Amino acid sequence: MYHFIDAAPGVRLWAEERGSATAPPLLLVMGAQTSGLGWPDELVDALAEHHRVIRYDHRDTGRSTWAFDQQPYAVTDLAEDAITVLDGLGVDRAHVVGMSLGGMLTQLLVADHPDRLLSATLIGTSALSTTPYVRPDGTHVPPEELPGIAPHVLEIWARPAEERGPEGELDARVAHWRALAGDQLPFDAEGARALERKIIEHTGHHASSTAHGRADTSGMLRTEELAKTEVPTLVISAPAEPVFPPPHPQHLAQVIRGARTVEIPGMGHALPREVLAPLTAAILDHTSVLDAPQDDDAVRGRR
């Protein structure tokens, strides 16, 4: 079941629900420039066996409104869009899973809207905090000195946007996913191409947006709020991650009060089939413990 939800004058967000309407809600928040369909159906369906799963298209992706040049916004506005989706679907509180930029948006939700979250799961992201990382030997590392984005990924991101035609655009997207996937698992080029073809069909055109890269990034630090939060938080550690490699996950677990890490073997900055089962298990292990003692309308969401 899908919906369109008004986020601002002239801006609508596409959202989809799967699973029982009475199950605990779980909101999936994708990364920059990526449609909600970037969450593989296999993962969504596995989570939907236990949750009312909601995924949505950010502004300037998928079927949501593309209007950044006419109505520019900040990254913090994208976090507020996630709350708008919950409001539009009548959900009081939800488990939230965020990947990449979506992990940063989820941190903003943890800090600014803790009353709306049952839990948070962060994948492939970095801490919105100025707190140093403390190595096992006790030395302190400022966040800006943690490992940066791999050069081969930066090179792809630095290329100017251009019209390539549908098949050329698919080639570029597959090459991008190959770079993001890391080097510990075999890369399924045909699977990546099929997913991107589906996203293009869903969107209705093959253009790629640069809006999220141009959005205002000011006002995103939440050092104090993350340090004192009571939102149960799981951090996924991906050993082949080329964007926010270890120890970024360990740093996140240090700056977010009570957070813990789970490593997914072979995982990079992507969601290939090989990581879906262990990732699903980690997320459900996190959410099921929190849902077990609760069985009221506030947890399930209101219709």
Average pLDDT value for the chain: 95
Encode pLDDT of 229-270 as tens digits: 999 999 999 999 999 999 999 999 999 999 999 999 999 999
Write down the pTM of the prediction. 0.94
* Cα 22 to Cα 14: distance, rounded to the nearest angstrom: 21
State both tokens at 117: 């979250």
pLDDT at position 160, please? Answer: 85
Residue 293, pLDDT score: 52
pLDDT at 18 over 70: yes
Domain ranges for the chain: 2-148+210-300
Note the pLDDT of residue 295: 45
pLDDT digits (tens, 9 = 90+) for 111-158: 999 999 999 999 999 999 999 999 999 999 999 999 999 999 999 999
CB 56 within 8 A of CB 64: yes
CATH of range 2-148+210-300; options 3.40.50.150, 3.40.1350.10, 3.40.50.1820, 3.40.50.1370: 3.40.50.1820
Length of the chain: 303
Find the largest Cα–Cα distance for the chain: 53
Residue 65: left (phi > 0), alpha (psi -120 to 50), or beta? beta
